[in-house]
Amino acid sequence: MSDPLSRWREHADTAVLLDGFHALKHALRFGAEVPVAVTTDRKAALALAGELAGDVRDLLDTLLTEVSEPAYASLVPRPHPTGVAALALRPSREANLRALARTPRTAPVVVLDHPRNLGNAGAVIRLAAGFGATGVVTTGTLDPWHPTVLRGGAGLHFATAVERLGVDELPAGPLFALDPEGEDIRGTKLPDDAVLAFGSERTGLSPELRARADHLLRLPMRPQVSSYNLATSVAMTLYHWSATGAAFPA
């Protein structure tokens, strides 16, 4: 087998960076293909795995190669406290589109309409993974696989289908758009095949998305507060689905 630095160079242009132990752990749990994983301290990384990730410890034992601190620092934009980094193959667009189109759906798809903040997008992907959502679709120019989004997603891009699409390409299913002017969400049961759409941090829902919406829903908010943060709005809405819907497992 080639040395880890050559393997890293071979995949660096097409694969995505898993920055730190926890991102690698999550990605492996959800079936990511990882051609190379390095650590500055194999013993410490495997001890952490023994403590926190017994399910993937053997896999980590096979994958992790120890490299020097300078070699590690040359591979990552900034060193992670765990001294672990890996590259994972990005799932194909076709596979994501198939996952998003599959019916009947047992959990909603989250749509971020023209999001702008990379950290918000990462936090939403982490939420979607936690709630077992079918996928996270973004419209607009933000790349949901941008390294900063990946960092915010903590390796959980592999636990849900993450793809950028046009408003005219959204998956089928009743479209519930979240907007402070809508009907109170507490009076609505969100179905498992719902498409849940959220507007941009600055300008809210786009006219195209609004025109496609079947329902406008608002989250409870007292007068004089204009809106919630995008990721917290997704959190409340997915929680509402989990508390009132049928399919949420735990």
Ligand X SMILES: C[S@@+](CC[C@H](N)C(=O)[O-])C[C@H]1O[C@@H](n2cnc3c(N)ncnc32)[C@H](O)[C@@H]1O
Task: List interacting residues with ligand X (CB under 6 A).
Answer: 178-180, 198-199, 201-205, 218-219, 221, 227-230, 233
Residue 2: helix, strand or coil by DSSP? coil
Q: Which lies closer to ligand X via its Cβ, residue 112 or residue 156? A: 112
Report, in Å, the least distance between residue 126 CB and ligand X: 17
Q: Which lies closer to ligand X via its Cβ, residue 74 or residue 203? A: 203
Contact of 103 with 188, CB cutoff 8 Å: no
Report, in Å, the least distance between residue 85 CB and ligand X: 33
Report, in Å, the least distance between residue 233 CB and ligand X: 4
| DSSP-assigned beta bridge partners for residue 87 | 17, 36
Alpha helices, DSSP H, located in 161-229: 207-212
Rounded CA separation 156/32 (Å):
10
Query: Which one-letter DSSP state was computed for residue 186?
Result: G
Q: Which lies closer to ligand X via its Cβ, residue 220 or residue 249? A: 220
| DSSP-assigned beta bridge partners for residue 217 | 183
Q: Which lies closer to ligand X via its Cβ, residue 43 or residue 202? A: 202
Report, in Å, the least distance between residue 169 CB and ligand X: 20
